[in-house]
Amino acid sequence: MASGEKLATILEREIDNLKTLQSIVDREYEALADANIPTIEGLVAEKNRALATQAELAKSRQDIVQQHSFEDTPDGLLRFIDECDNRETLSTAYQHLSTLARDCRDSNRANGRLISQKQRQAAGALDVLRKTDSKSSIYSSQGKTSLAGEKGRTLGKV
């Protein structure tokens, strides 16, 4: 098999893997929003497998580029693609791969923001319950806000 064909095969496998990863990350977002812990745990394991596969495929792609004396950089890959007979197919596949990778990264960052938001909410709730956050306001029996540190009630009276 010619190097260009090998690269095309690897790029297609990477594209398929990133589509799978995007699906996992999308389902992970829904599970995070629903606080569905068992589903999140399963999806994290799936995501880790997909990321490991992606790392292996990227390494294979890098190896082909380096075997042909091109740098292991995006520019080196593009120069290698330019010298292949199937350059149009490879160029289109690489553009698609780049777009999918960006989409996966952005979706994963959105999941991270959701996790951070939920952590802040949980920490705030715990602070109120433990009265550890002197700045958090709670409602008094008169329906007015007061600081948790001021005349705080015990958990048994809340």
pLDDT at residue number 23: 98
Type and span of the H or E element at 36: none
pLDDT tens per residue, range 19-49: 999 999 999 999 999 999 999 999 999 999 9
pTM: 0.78
pLDDT at residue number 62: 96
Type and span of the H or E element at 137: strand 137-139
Q: Which residues contact 80 (CB under 8 A, 6 or more apart)?
A: 7, 64, 65, 68, 70
pLDDT at residue number 153: 47
Type and span of the H or E element at 143: none
pLDDT tens per residue, range 58-75: 999 999 999 999 998 999
CA 61 – CA 88 distance, rounded (Å): 17
